[in-house]
Chains A and B, each alone.
Chain A
Amino acid sequence: MIYELLKTSLALTAHQIIFYLIAATILVTGLLAVTSPKIFRSAIFLLFSLLGIAGLYFWMEMEFVAAVQISVYVGGIVVLIIFSIFLTEHAGKEARKAPPVRTIAASLAALFGIILGFLIIGQYPFAVSSEAFDNSVSRIGEAMLNYNEGGFSLPFEVVSILLLAAMVGCIVVAMRPGVLSKTEKTKEEK
């Protein structure tokens, strides 16, 4: 009897159960990331939230996007955040409690964002498509370098120029004045 019940309920809603579990993980860890008084814990909860999003992509069988999500956000950005926490003074202490006015204002702003997002999303009826679709990596690559209709060549190049500019900017900011001339001098001495 119980087995039969389990069987039917599993067959019907296993997909939904897993989806809601992943979604709940993302939301709870995201909330914890914002509310945790310890900054390092916040970073770790952010990590779990991002991992949950990757899990959602895996669940939707968008493996490439999921793997990129993990390697860029988890392996890259969260590691950078953690490094900057390590290099900050007083990072081990708990953050001061915000005054209640700020807490209320922040939660109101968050509520406003949620309602706005909900309203905008609610305007569009998302059609459920049952046909199989091709998510192979080669198709993503072709779309990325395609300069015809529906291609992403221009945004790809624009983003890469943006990243290049950011990297050059980083080097300029990080380099102390006079360092370059000093290294050149030592080379000449050699």
Chain B
Amino acid sequence: MKFSLEYITKSVDGWLNATFNPTIAFLIESVIVMVLVIALFAFLGLVLVIMERKVAAFMQIRLGPNRVGPKGMFQTVADTLKLIVKEGFTPNNVDKFLFNLAPFIVMITAMVAMAPLPFANGFQIWDVNIGILFITAITSVSVIGILMAGWSSNNKYSLLGAMRSGAQIVSYELSAGLSILVIVMLSGSLRISDIVAAQADGWWIFKGHIPVLISFVIFIIAATAETNRAPFDMAEAESELTAGFHTEYSGMKFALFFLAEYVNIFIVCAVGATLFLGGWMPLHFGTGTAFNTVMDYIPGIVWFFGKTFLLIFIIMWFRWTFPRLRIDQLLNLEWKYLLPICLVNLLLATIIAIAGWHF
């Protein structure tokens, strides 16, 4: 029997509804989902930070953390423990309410944006009919948290970092949205499960010719910029702004910003994997070959996380290869290159979608 998470979720749901009344069952399910999401967050924080440090080290001909645990694998656990026991310091003359609220805004938006992500067949928190629009809408709120942190810190570096990151996220949202739109047009739905189902006979990156390839590249660039990562990390450019919007944060509040950065990377990469690389769909060549049967036995959740971590690796690869852009270069790249290319590409994709030239 093939491993299926849908069977587990269905049986849990059935048992809860049979035992309690629907409202109680719904509440219990919500609690289970919350616990799972928080567990996933902790897992992502630990895994992605050590992955980033190891990838960075190998790309720079170094070894990276190698003291705590086997090959340094428990380094992030130690770092997390350190951050938990550190003092959450609030400087003088800051707007205390907003200063303490900002990390939670960033964190909660990251949590909410996770709702429509399809981890496996039928393993999705909320299959809303506007799934992909929901994710783009929610991620646009996280910039508010950054602006809030920058303003309330009462520090010129924080304010500059926040303004840069605001300008950057607002402009790169356009090209991210337009490249997502290409896939939405080809699949004809905003619902994420429909988009994944449309890729059952092949992922869009293979089926959609050159326009999808271009929009994939642009999506990755825009996603890197939207998560404020190098080479687009003007918001926290260490060499000029100390740490940008989170200069004044320490202890667990800093850890929340740090965790939210990595969770946001995971979310944008998961969206990229779902839209362009087929989500939890296994890799198929042709129909009915032995290769396809073997691929079918790999569970969907493995496919999903594999593709997502591949994209995360690509984004880390960017970070440790390219130098930081200047702010004018960054805005030039968006408004003079990515956006015009995106618009032309959207037109091409429309022609393909209407004429039905995709496979």
Contact = CB atoms under 8 A, between A and B. Distances in A.
Do chains A and B directly touch (beta carbons under 8 Å) in the complex?
Answer: yes
Interface of A: 7, 10-11, 14, 38, 40-41, 44, 47, 51, 63-64, 67-68, 70-71, 74-76, 78-79, 82-83, 85-86, 92, 135-137
B352 interface: no
Given A70-B138, A71-B136, A86-B159, 7 more contacts: A11-B21, A40-B95, A41-B95, A63-B130, A64-B130, A67-B133, A68-B137
- Central interface residue in A10, A14, A79, by most chain B CB within 10 Å: A79
Given A40-B98, A137-B190, A7 B21 contact: yes
B133 A74 contact: no
B130 A74 contact: no
B141 A70 contact: yes
Contacts of A68: 133, 137
Contacts of B159: 86
B95 A38 contact: yes
A11 to B, nearest CB: 6
A91 to B, nearest CB: 9
Identify the 5 closest CB pairs spanning chains A and B, nearest first.
Answer: A75-B140, A71-B137, A70-B137, A67-B137, A67-B133
Interface stretch (B55-63, B143-151, B201-209, B249-257): B143-151
Contacts of B152: 40
B206 to A, nearest CB: 26
Given A40-B151, A41-B97, A137-B130, A11 B23 contact: yes
A63 B126 CA distance: 12
Interface in B226-247: none
A64 B191 CA distance: 11
A75 B166 CA distance: 10
Interface residues of B, number: 32
Interface string B89-103: 000000101100100
Nearest to B159: A86
Contacts of B170: 75-76, 79
A10 B134 CA distance: 29
Interface string B73-117: 000000000000000000000010110010000000000000000
Contacts of A78: 144
Contacts of A71: 133, 136-137, 140
10 contacts: A7-B23, A44-B98, A44-B144, A63-B129, A67-B137, A82-B147, A82-B166, A83-B167, A86-B162, A137-B133
B95 A10 contact: no
Given A40-B151, A75-B143, A83 B166 contact: yes
B181 interface: no
Contacts of A41: 95, 97-98
Contact of B141 (A75, A83, A92, A136): A75
Interface string B118-143: 00000000001110011011101101
B262 to A, nearest CB: 22
B186 interface: no
A10 B144 CA distance: 35
Contacts of A10: 23-24
Interface in B253-300: none
A10 B22 CA distance: 10
- Central interface residue in A11, A14, A44, A85, by most chain B CB within 10 Å: A44
Contacts of B101: 44
B334 interface: no
A34 B256 CA distance: 30
Contacts of B140: 70-71, 74-76, 79
Nearest to A8: B21
Contacts of B148: 44
A63 B133 CA distance: 10
A51 B162 CA distance: 21
Interface in B146-183: 147-148, 151-152, 154, 159, 162-163, 166-167, 170, 173
A40 B98 CA distance: 9
Contacts of B163: 83, 86
A45 to B, nearest CB: 11
Contacts of B23: 7, 10-11, 14
A63 B144 contact: no
Contacts of A74: 137, 140-141, 144
A51 B138 CA distance: 10
Contacts of A63: 128-130, 134
- Central interface residue in B97, B140, B162, B163, by most chain A CB within 10 Å: B140
Nearest to B170: A79
B31 to A, nearest CB: 15
Contacts of A137: 129-130, 133, 190
